[in-house]
Structure 1
Amino acid sequence: MLYKTIGRLLKIGTLLSTWGLMATVLLQIFCRFSPFDTPSWTEEASRLFFIYAMSFAAGLAMKNEFYVHLDMFYNRFSARLKKILNVAIPIVTLLLFLVMAFYSIQFIILGIPEKSPSMGFNMGLAFISMFIMATSISYYLWRKIRKIYKTTKL
């Protein structure tokens, strides 16, 4: 239940952010080729939509294992080393993203008093994207590590 809910929220966030990015970029293009002035907020909005689209999609990429693998090196290793790497790499990556999640909270708090230049919203809102990315990747890495632990014997 939680697994499906998190996946759906990440998909919806990715879609809404991507649609927002497309809408702001299309507005910029339309205004450049028309007599209308391009609104000053569109550049900042498109940047923010892009950041959020990547943040939401990063967890989904981890869930579906869409990240790049260096098979050229990996295939040259012994079976034992491959098993060790299959366990060690997700654990180290999880630790790194847990550290990122922890410090992203402090970054969000630091951004609360700041205002964005053209849109005037609280910059803590922009920095929440780092927390979303770190926690969603950590969640799917934790599930992967549990699955590896249940199926692999070193």
Structure 2
Amino acid sequence: MPHPSLNSLAPNFTAPVIGGTYKSETTLTLSHLRGQKVVLYFYPKDDTPGCTTQACALRDSWSQIQNKAHLFGISTDPIKRHAKFIEKYTLPFPLIADEDHHIVNAYGVWVEKTLYGKTYMGTERTTFIIGEDGRITAILEKVKPDEHLEKMLTALG
């Protein structure tokens, strides 16, 4: 499934979330954040080298991010794994669990990947910035973990 396009309404979802202002597991519905800027950053897996680099860069620059947009990390990991990842690296932002793959499919980031000659399905590292009107204002595709923060801050303005 392709990504939603720029200026299209961001696909709505309701999913489990933990971290940041969500101190214990609860559910988040994206449309409830209308009127506010939102960043959804999709990443492959908690506590892996690239994903940790990306998350820690966001953590270390949290003071630059928190007043610009609501930031959510999304992976197909379960909520308990998210909670451990947040605690281990003191992440100040929430993580959304997409175990049933509804969100990654809706955003077109559940893709075929190849590693060491093996093909498998996984999450493409992509970030969507959503404006106050619920429309996608920027898409950062296949971004490298160590370049993500700078590209995201530039897109946020």
**Structure of higher CA gyration radius:** 1
Higher relative contact order (CA 8 A, sep 6+): 2
Q: Do they fold alike, i.e. is TM over 0.5?
A: no
> Which has more strand, going by share of residues?
2
